[in-house]
Structure 1
Amino acid sequence: MEFHSFPAPHVDAVSFDRRELSAILSVYGRMVAAGEWRDYAIDATRDAAVFSIFRRTAEHPIYRVEKRPRLAQRQGAYAVIAMDGHILKRGRDLASVLRVLEAKLIKVVAGRD
């Protein structure tokens, strides 16, 4: 049996708290149920926490939800960024920032009639 040693999370790393992750996973779960998204990844660095959303495994993320606390006072800590790097929504309130993804869910569901 082989044991792997994983590096300890960086103490200064930015991460999503339970409430933030719950809000993101709520939107993610509905899009998975609609058949639009298939996978995700979470990264924590010194500057940002990133929730990457994939249409298929092993592709580039189609969206990234980022938390950058250093931008909280200026532009807002949260952002939804498209695959091309275009910032779709930025703000201080995660729920309002995630609404840009909710709008995409409404289009997906409405388009199936």
Structure 2
Amino acid sequence: MAFDPITPATPPPGSSAGVVFFDRKELSAILSVYGRMVAAGHWRDYAIDASREAASFCVFRRASEAPLYRIEKRPALARRQGAWAVIAQGGLVMKRGHELEQVLKVFDRTRFAVVK
């Protein structure tokens, strides 16, 4: 295969090539935790962001505030600390790991209490 100077080496702006995002199973697990916390009255809104480095799912108490927690997927850290992390509002990494289910256990009722 020869080098083609007309075809760009990087994806064009607006294309989704190279963007990190959640697959269906991962998003289902995250939305399950989100639904449980909404039903308990702790969370009310969410936002999803995708970039070349990471995908993040942010949860909010109110839509006008900063996110309470970010659930991040960073594939570049998969071999080191783990691709998954739960980050609190101040930037504190609450849990990091290789498997999403283990990281989401930080929101279990027995170990998690929301301080108002």
TM-score, structure 1 normalization: 0.84
Structure with the larger RCO, 1 or 2 (CA within 8 Å, 6+ apart): 1
- The CA distance in 1 between the partners of 2:84 and 2:96, in whole Å, is 6
Tell me, yes or no, if structure 1 residue 58 matches structure 2 residue 80.
Answer: no
Q: Structure 1 pair 34/54, CA: closer, same or farther in 2 (3 Å)? A: same
Number of corresponding residues: 102
Summarize the alignment of residues 32-111 of structure 1 with structure 2, pairs less than 5 Å apart: 32-103=38-109, 107=113
Q: Give the one of 19, 37, 46 matched to 1:13.
A: 19
Question: Radius of gyration: which is bigger?
Answer: 2
The structure whose residues are more often helix, as a share, is: 1
- The CA distance in 1 between the partners of 2:25 and 2:15, in whole Å, is 20
Gaps of 5+ in 2: 1-12
Gaps of 5+ in 1: 1-6, 109-113
Q: Structure 1 pair 70/88, CA: closer, same or farther in 2 (3 Å)? A: same
